[in-house]
């Protein structure tokens, strides 16, 4: 990069470091689940920053925070932002950097060009990770796009079984008003996000233009056998759900390997009940996260997983429940927005890759109601969903400069 950037890396780093205080976990981690006290404090801090940047601020019915810069023409809103919640624990950049990027980009545009033709809005989306409510499934953008059913308010429950409606009331939100969060006036949503993988670092580049976001499915598998003594019962007399889980877990991961990149499958959570060292478990519960961006291949991956799970349970005489907790379609980026990203990067002399996203994002929900496009910035060691997550301030600033140029093209140009 040769040209001076319009975004100051030190200002980016300051905002990241400050926001990470809310839910700080160890030296560099963040533990900030939706509607927690640290979530509320982080949204309050962002509201102050939005206000200081000259934006009018409001919180919607599910707790998304919006900062708005009025436009002279008043038509189709150009929005940018990302999610404020984190994994348990997560890092300082996943989601947070996208909100800070939107704030600094819009602040720069307002200071440099004044009011836009189309309204510009920065949004801090309330929940993306499902890290408190396993079936929340991008609760903030789900509400904005009208994908929250009234039944969800009691069916979506946290890991202790508490309905999301009760938790929302606890932070002063009225779950009966969720429908008011729906937006019909958005023309485009642009999300800057950390790459969370290794390809930008492999290419030694700061920024990528995202071609599309993968489709994914989260399964919850429950295998029930029979609790027995770990020593007195011979192996051939057991109904051991852990043996079934071991065969299934190895099998589904093998399915993804055999299908080849970009198919992925992850077992991130597993629990044995009652969980005694000397007890053959009665039940084993585990999750399967399966993803692929291409519809036919994705269907094939899901088919292979589901037939394997059923075959192993039946053969081992184990009772099976197989629930789908999250099922989200892929979202190709809008070609015109991708072209605008490319022109913006070229104008700033910032070399870019074009990459698909293996991670899920709010943008794939927003794509159901407006044009969307994403930008990635480099993740050190390709790491994310860990306190070790890190993005160099100059890489972040380069991405935000491209974001600002794209937002300028969308909101200021004729």
Tell me which residues touch ligand HGY (CB under 6 A). Answer: 128-129, 359-360
Q: Which is nearer to ligand HGY, 83 or 157 (CB)?
A: 83
Under rule CB under 5 A, residue 362 binds Mn ion: no
Q: What is the dihedral of CA 314, 317, 321, 326, to 10 degrees?
A: -50
Q: Which is nearer to Mn ion, 60 or 94 (CB)?
A: 94
Q: 373, 356, 82, 393: which is closest to 195 by C-alpha?
A: 356
Q: How far apart are the first and last CA of the chain?
A: 29
32 CB-contact burial (10 Å; exposed 0-12 / middle 13-18 / buried 19+): buried
Residues 52-91, one symbol each (x = binds Mn ion by CB under 5 A, - = not), give: ----------------------------------------
Compare residues 134 and 360 and give the one whose CB is closer to ligand HGY: 360
CB of 193 to ligand HGY, least distance (A): 9
**CB-nearer residue toward ligand HGY: 280 or 301:** 301
Angle, in degrees to the nearest 10, between helices 96-113 and 393-411: 50
Cα distance between residue 15 and residue 327, in whole Å: 34
Q: Does 95 bind Mn ion (CB under 5 A)?
A: yes
Shortest Å distance, C-beta 127 to ligand HGY: 10
What, of ligand HGY, Mn ion, none, does residue 95 touch, CB below 5 to 8 Å by kind? Mn ion
The Cα 167–Cα 244 span in angstroms is 36
Region for 286 from its dihedrals, namely left if φ exceeds 0, alpha if ψ lies in -120 to 50, beta otherwise? beta
Q: Residue 197 touches which of Mn ion, ligand HGY, none (CB < 5 to 8 A by kind)? A: none
Q: How many residues does the chain have?
A: 414
Q: Give me the least distance between CB of 86 and Mn ion, in Å please.
A: 8
Closest CB to ligand HGY among residues 128, 394? 128
Instruction: Compute the least distance from the CB of residue 9 to ligand HGY, in Å.
Output: 25
Pick 158 or 394: Cβ nearer ligand HGY: 158
Q: How far is the CB of 24 from ligand HGY (least distance, A)?
A: 20
Q: What does 127-174 look like in DSSP terms, one character per residue?
A: --S-SSSTT-SSHHHHHHTT---TTHHHH-B-TT--BHHHHHHHTT--
Minimum distance from CB of 91 to Mn ion (Å)?
A: 9
The interface partner of residue 23, options being ligand HGY, Mn ion, none and the CB cut-off 5 to 8 Å by kind, is: none
Cross-strand partners of 119: none
Q: Which is nearer to Mn ion, 69 or 400 (CB)?
A: 400
- Residue 370: CA atoms inside 13 Å, Cβ hemisphere, count? 25
Closest contact distance (angstroms) between CB of 144 and Mn ion is 16
* Cβ(141)–Cβ(128) below 8 Å: yes
The footprint of Mn ion (CB under 5 A) covers 94-95
């Amino acid at each position: 990069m040769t040209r001076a950037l319009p975004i100051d890396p030190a200002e980016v780093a300051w905002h990241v470091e400050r926001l990470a205080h809310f839910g700080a976990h160890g030296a560099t981690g963040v533990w900030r689940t939706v509607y927690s006290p640290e979530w509320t404090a982080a949204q309050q801090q962002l509201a102050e920053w939005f206000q200081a940047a000259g934006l009018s601020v409001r919180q919607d019915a599910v707790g998304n925070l919006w900062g708005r810069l009025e436009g002279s023409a008043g038509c189709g809103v150009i929005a940018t932002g990302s999610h404020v919640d984190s994994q348990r624990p997560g890092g300082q950049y996943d989601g947070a950097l996208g909100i800070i990027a939107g704030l600094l980009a819009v602040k720069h545009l307002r200071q440099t060009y004044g009011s836009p033709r189309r309204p510009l809005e920065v949004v801090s989306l309330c929940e993306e990770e499902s890290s408190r409510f396993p079936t929340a499934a991008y609760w903030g953008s789900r509400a904005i796009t009208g994908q929250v059913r009234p039944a969800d308010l009691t069916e979506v429950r946290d890991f202790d079984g508490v309905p999301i409606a009760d938790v929302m009331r606890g932070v002063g939100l009225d779950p009966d008003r969720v429908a008011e969060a729906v937006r019909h006036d958005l023309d485009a949503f642009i999300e800057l996000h950390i790459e969370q993988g290794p390809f930008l670092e492999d290419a030694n580049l700061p920024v990528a233009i995202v071609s599309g976001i993968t489709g994914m499915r989260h399964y919850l598998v429950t295998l029930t056998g029979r609790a027995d003594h770990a020593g007195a019962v011979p192996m051939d007399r057991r109904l051991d759900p852990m043996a079934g889980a071991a065969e299934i877990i190895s099998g589904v991961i093998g399915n993804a390997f055999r299908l080849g990149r970009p198919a992925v499958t992850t077992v991130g959570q597993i629990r044995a009940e009652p969980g005694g060292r000397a007890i053959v478990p009665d039940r084993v519960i585990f999750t399967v996260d399966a993803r692929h961006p291409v519809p036919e291949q994705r269907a094939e991956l899901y088919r292979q997983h589901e037939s394997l799970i059923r075959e192993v349970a039946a053969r081992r005489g184990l009772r099976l429940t197989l629930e789908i907790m999250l099922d989200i379609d892929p979202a190709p980026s809008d070609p015109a927005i991708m072209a605008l990203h490319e022109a913006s990067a070229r104008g700033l002399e910032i070399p870019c890759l074009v990459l698909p996203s293996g991670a899920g994002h709010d943008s794939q929900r927003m794509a159901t109601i407006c044009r969307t496009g994403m930008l990635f910035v480099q993740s050190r060691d390709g790491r994310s969903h860990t306190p070790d997550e890190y993005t160099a301030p100059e890489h972040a600033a380069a991405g935000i400069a491209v974001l600002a140029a794209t937002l300028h093209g969308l909101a200021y140009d004729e």
